[in-house]
Structure 1
Amino acid sequence: MTQSLSKQASLQILARRSAALVTLAFGLSLVAAPAAQAAPLKIGMTFQELNNPYFVTMQKALNDAAASIGATVVVTDAHHDVSKQVSDVEDMLQKKIDILLVNPTDSTGIQSAVTSAKKAGVVVVAVDANANGPVDSFVGSKNYDAGVMACEYLAKSIGGSGEVAILDGIPVVPILERVRGCKAALAKAPGVKLVDTQNGKQERATALSVTENMIQAHPNLKGVFSVNDGGSMGALSAIEASGKDIKLTSVDGAPEAIAAIQKPNSKFVETSAQFPADQVRIALGIALAKKWGANVPKAIPVDVKMIDKSNAKGFSW
């Protein structure tokens, strides 16, 4: 118990420290406004994809935050191609960016680009998923906690007994952590049996097909955990078409998922919501703090929130 309280106190201290750094960073940027007007800061951000409302929300928040300090933004979409992402970063360095926010499609594969950016004197902050190499800081959701939260809810929603499956995704750290958290939660429910784990690739069409196969292979299936809301919408279609009482939980808090949870008698019962706009705002603040000479934490975990029918109304990123 003492260790748990100590860990919680440490996280609270880190959160306060992070908030102070963000305030400091934006304050310093405003103080430096005359110089910035002559040579505005140039911020580059490379996304693993932009065909996703989660990252679209993040991009909008970045644009708004950058505009508030008179900075310019260069944004690229890797389309989940690490070679393209590395090339995109090299192009940004040619454009003389001051700050690089990197949302890696492959944490290991992006390392050479991160190293090049640091050699060029660029501040590098990883967002949502961490990157190998000399990043200055990492800002991301508590993905393990998200998996625990969703699968504890799933176990309870099926009465603590029955067969469940995991709709997995691309093997990047956030997804791996969600699955690890889910399995840890299910292990504490002795009446619940994990009977299948398959990759839905976080895409609606693939997830639909995969979930159909899982339902057919396991006629007694009572629950499914999806690693993201995009895949969960395909899973939901498969569940509804089956006519079976199969509960669904997920991670993200996407608008479409929030709407689905609120429908009468919905099989979609919970999503562990992330906060993409907050992540990128904190990441930019930390990058600015580093740019102006502050010592910054190596990692800043961002809380997730359990959303079900009781609190879904009015929730948004």
Structure 2
Amino acid sequence: MPMKRTWRTWLLALLLAVGPVGSALATHANHGKGPRVGVLVSDLRNPFFAYIARAVESTLAEDSRNAAHITVVSSGFDPQRQDEQLKEMIRQRVQLVIVTPVDSTSLHARVTEARAAGIKVVAVDALVQGADAAVVTDSRAAGKLSCEHLVRTLGGKGEVAIIDGPPNTAAVGRVNGCREALNAAPGVRVVSMALNGGATKDGGVEQMTRLLARHPKLSGVFAINDLCGIGAELAAQVAGRRDIVITAMDGSPEVAQRLQDPATLIVGSATQSPTLMGQRAAQIGLKLLKGQPPQQRVLLLPSKLVTRENVDGYGGW
């Protein structure tokens, strides 16, 4: 009798499948006889995208008599690799693609090709032109929320930097929202916005190290996501800078745990729900396959701020 996979064993299987560099290797999460579905995520090494993939699989498997045949692939935040993965999905004649775009612009042509081949496309986390539908967090509002808290924690003054991320609408929205909050604080001086941390922990370490060398009076940082923020914190701690204030976005379990530590430099994160995003994307995709387009092409989900003060009541992902 086959053993039912737990969340931990499922995630371990995915991480083993994508390998140490987030390769294009796939894991066939479900061999159902229903619709063929391709799930293209930015990087399964990031738990946020693993949660999305898991939620998609669980939702598509709810109809046991017509469970989908699902193929999950990870691009390792490489837009060219993701483009090739979508090209392969078109070749395999999948019926539905659920994708978290790495680059909202460069993926457009391949999405158009998929649509022309009769494939339904649902974008998650970031928008891509040409998709049938999208499920995203209100990134601009979230970025503003996170940076308003950064400004409050700094007492409305100081040198602040933004560590940016991949060229998709999610990152752009977060940065624009953050800039709106920072521009409203006359005592805050933005010293850098151009550094790209790649939305990874290593990228956060690298760019924070660079920022501290260039701006010795730096007092605050907004990181594009929690992993990048954790990397920035590590770099600041190594440099002996325990006076830095960091905010980010995701509301990840790791950051929620850190917020319970009084010594952490991370003081807040604007939340997302990857589980809800994956569920909604799968539900919309199934309806599209039945010829039922969504009432709203873009489903915009709200964000809340989790901080040291309210983390005990935070439900998490």
Q: Could you tell me the TM-score, scaled by structure 1's length?
A: 0.83
Structure 1 distance, partners of 2:237, 2:315, is 24
Structure 2 CA distance for aligned equivalents of residues 127 and 309 of structure 1? 29
The structure 1 segments of at least 4 consecutive aligned residues displaced by more than 4 Å after TM superposition are: none
Given that 1:74 and 1:92 are in contact with CA atoms closer than 8 Å, whether structure 2 keeps it comes out as no
- Check 1:208–1:295 CA distance in 2 against 1; reply closer, same or farther (3 A cut): closer
Compare 69-78 and 208-217 and name the one that shifted more: 208-217
* Bigger fraction of residues in helix: 1
Contact 2:33 2:69 in 1 (8 A): no
Alignment of 1:5-154 (within 5 A): 40-69=34-63, 70-133=67-130, 135-154=131-150
1: CA distance between counterparts of 2:264 and 2:76?
32
Distance 1:196 1:116, change over 3 A: closer
Summarize the Cα distance change of 1:215–1:316 in structure 2 as closer, same or farther, 3 Å threshold: same
Equivalent pairs: percent with the same residue? 32
1:202 aligns with: 199
Stretch deviating more after TM superposition (102-111 or 175-184): 102-111
Larger Rg: 1
Is the Cα–Cα contact under 8 Å of residues 220 and 246 in structure 2 kept in the other structure?
A: yes
User: TM-score, normalised on structure 2?
Assistant: 0.83
Higher RCO, 1 vs 2 (CA within 8 Å, ≥6 residues apart) = 1
Q: Does 1:253 align with 2:275?
A: no
Distance in 2 separating the partners of 1:190 and 1:103: 36
Look up the SS of the partner of 2:311 in the other structure.
coil
RMSD: 1.9
Find the counterpart in structure 1 of residue 305 from structure 2: 306
SS of the residue 1:144 aligns to? helix
Q: Where do 5+ consecutive residues of structure 2 fail to align?
A: 1-31
Residue 218 of structure 1 deviates from its aligned partner by 2.3
Amino acid at match of 2:111: V
The question of 1:162 aligning with 2:161 is answered no
**Deviation by residue 1:37-57 (Cα, 9 ceiling, x = unmatched):** x95122211112212111011
Q: 1:240 aligns with which of 237, 253, 272?
A: 237
Q: Which residue of 2 aligns with 1:276?
A: 274
* Count of residue pairs the alignment pairs up: 280
**Equivalent position amino acid for 2:246 in 1:** L
Q: Which segments of 5 or more consecutive residues in structure 1 lack a partner in the other structure?
A: 1-37
What is the rounded CA distance, in whole Å, between the counterparts of 1:203 and 1:291 in structure 2?
A: 34
8 A Cα contact 2:59 2:283, kept in partner: no
In structure 1, the partner of 2:18 is none
Task: Output the CA distance in 2 between the equivalents of 1:143 and 1:187.
Answer: 17
